[in-house]
Amino acid sequence: MTSDVGPTLTHLDASGRVQRVEVGHQPLAARLATAQGQVRRPERTLEAILADQGPKGNVVEAARLAGIMAAKRTAELIPLCHPFPLTSITTGVEMEALTAVAVAALTLYDMAKALEKAMVIENIRLLRKYGGSSGPSGFDQNRPSQ
């Protein structure tokens, strides 16, 4: 949608205030998104995590559960993000997938910081998105652009 002065911003009202766009009229559609992130750390820290030797318990399981919980609560955490009914958290819709990855990485950091404080969380990004407004072909970072 454009006007004679440029694109119309859908998330701003007439006075320029942020607003959430109503999407209740849209039919439910199958959606899928995949995201990833990295937690850079020394090899010895990874070995301790995988050997379940973290001082706070099972780091991998805690991060997995945190990611699931974050995906379910994305609409509460990200302003203007609409809630979607999720059937699986292995992959979700775009913002849910990105939020899950970010919170899982933060949880991994929190659970393992006693082992290594110099860990770095980086490269959180969307890899794929299908369905919804992206349509059946969607977005795939590994597919050459057309």
Please list the active-site residues.
110
Number of neighbouring beta carbons within 10 Å of residue 46: 15
Number of neighbouring beta carbons within 10 Å of residue 70: 22
User: What are the CA-CA distances from residue 21 to residues 33, 48, 81, 92, 97 (Å)?
Assistant: 21, 46, 9, 21, 21
What end-to-end distance do the CA atoms of the chain give, in Å? 23
Tokens for 69, please give them: 């919980």
> SS3 for 49-109, per residue?
HHCCCCCCCCHHHHHHHHHHHHHHCHHHHCCCCCCCCCCCCCCECHHHHHHHHHHHHHHHH
Assess contact for 82 and 26: CB atoms under 8 A.
Answer: no
